[in-house]
Amino acid sequence: MRAWRVGQPGPMSSGPLVADECPDPRPGPGEVLLRVRVCGVCRTDLHLAEGDLTPRRPGVIPGHEVVGEVLTCGARATRFSRGERVGVAWLGRTCGTCRFCLRGAENLCLSPVFTGWDRDGGYAELITVAENFAYRLPPRFSDEEAAPLLCAGIIGYRALCRADLPIGGRLGIYGFGGSAHLAAQIALFQGARVYVMTRSEEARALALELGATFAGGADEQPPDPLDSAILFAPAGGLVPVALRALDRGGTLAVAGIHLSDIPPLHYAAELFQERQLRSVTANTRADGEEFFRVAAEIPLRPTTVPYPFSAADKALLDLSEDRVTGAAVLRMDDP
Ligand SMILES: [Zn+2]
Ligand SMILES: [Zn+2]
């Protein structure tokens, strides 16, 4: 099969993503083999290619927002049948026995397996997935719409939950890419007022079009104090900026897997008055199932930017240079 692998991690201009011909994967026990139809492009793929995330396996195939159809089922895999549409997300497997798995916090599993980091992902014609970690996707979403929901959507939803937004509250969103534009739609649906701070002018326009109250520059102060905020931009320098924008008792959730260094915090202005700073780490399968129910009910309208499969490197380059408004996706039917 054709696939993209992470070669020598480095800036996108150095060509860290390599097109390759690889052996077809075979489904192990409890796994299914999928023909990939669409794979979303997530900022985590960029962090991996550029070396911000340490590779966990040399030459791994990235991609963890995979919409595919079942080709074959491995031994003891009975959940899906041939031809069914299935989604593959970031959480590829958990141990099921550590103290976190046992208490329902499998996102914190001590030995997790991540798609497109530990095991091969969806920048390829074929992929295998443990059936218990795959998702059935609401039929109202096309393949291209469903792909970004699998990470950008699920993580945005968990970040929104972690931000403890009160009913009818004011939510600040820092950075407005694939995940943020979905989380914003959920918050607006729930009756929140949304304030978006981002350096991209196109993203600000999209935010206002979706119903945001305010769209300003990356470190601009919103006009009202925020009850909650989510930092989607991987910029640690924005942590104190967002904390200062919070009202007393407000919560800031940091959504990304990678963040540049956070400058020293000013206790009185940025943390005192019971402001809270939290991270968001992966998601549980229950988060994913709950998110898909909410997404279909609203319904979410993902803004997607399609790329042919052969242009995966171009898609990541565009993402690194802020040229993608919404969520980039790779289409396998456009080789
Ligand atoms: Zn575990
Ligand atoms: Zn992701």
Phi/psi for 58 (5° steps) reads -65, 140
Query: CA-to-CA distance for 38 and 41, rounded, in angstroms?
Result: 10
Residue 55, pLDDT score: 85
Query: CA-to-CA distance for 183 and 179, rounded, in angstroms?
Result: 6
Query: Which ligand gives the minimal distance to the CA of 110?
Result: 1
Task: Provide the β-strand partners of residue 307.
Answer: 330
Residue 334, pLDDT score: 75
Residue 137, pLDDT score: 97
Query: Which ligand gives the minimal distance to the CA of 95?
Result: 1
Q: Give distance in angstroms: CA of 57 to centre of ligand 2.
A: 17
pLDDT digits 0-9 by tens, 272-308: 999 999 999 999 999 999 999 999 999 999 999 999 9
Whether the predicted pLDDT of 39 surpasses 80: yes
Query: Which ligand gives the minimal distance to the CA of 109?
Result: 1
Q: Residue 331 contacts by C-beta under 8 Å, 6 or more apart in sequence?
A: 37, 38, 144, 306, 307, 308, 309
pLDDT digits 0-9 by tens, 121-143: 999 999 999 999 999 999 999 99
Phi/psi for 161 (5° steps) reads -65, -45
Residue 86, pLDDT score: 98
Q: Give distance in angstroms: CA of 232 to centre of ligand 2.
A: 12
Q: Give distance in angstroms: CA of 276 to centre of ligand 1.
A: 27
Whether the predicted pLDDT of 164 surpasses 80: yes
Query: Which ligand gives the minimal distance to the CA of 93?
Result: 1
Domains located in the chain, CATH noted: 2-141+302-331 (3.90.180.10), 156-279 (3.40.50.720)
Q: Residue 169 contacts by C-beta under 8 Å, 6 or more apart in sequence?
A: 192, 193, 227, 228
Tokens of 18: 């390599």
Residue 119, pLDDT score: 96
CB 185 within 8 A of CB 294: no
Q: Give distance in angstroms: CA of 152 to centre of ligand 2.
A: 6
**Whole-number average pLDDT of the chain:** 96
Q: Give distance in angstroms: CA of 46 to centre of ligand 2.
A: 10
SS3 156: helix
Q: Give distance in angstroms: CA of 45 to centre of ligand 2.
A: 7
Q: Give distance in angstroms: CA of 154 to centre of ligand 2.
A: 9
Burial-class residue 195 by CB neighbours within 10 Å (0-12, 13-18, 19+).
buried
Q: Give distance in angstroms: CA of 108 to centre of ligand 1.
A: 7
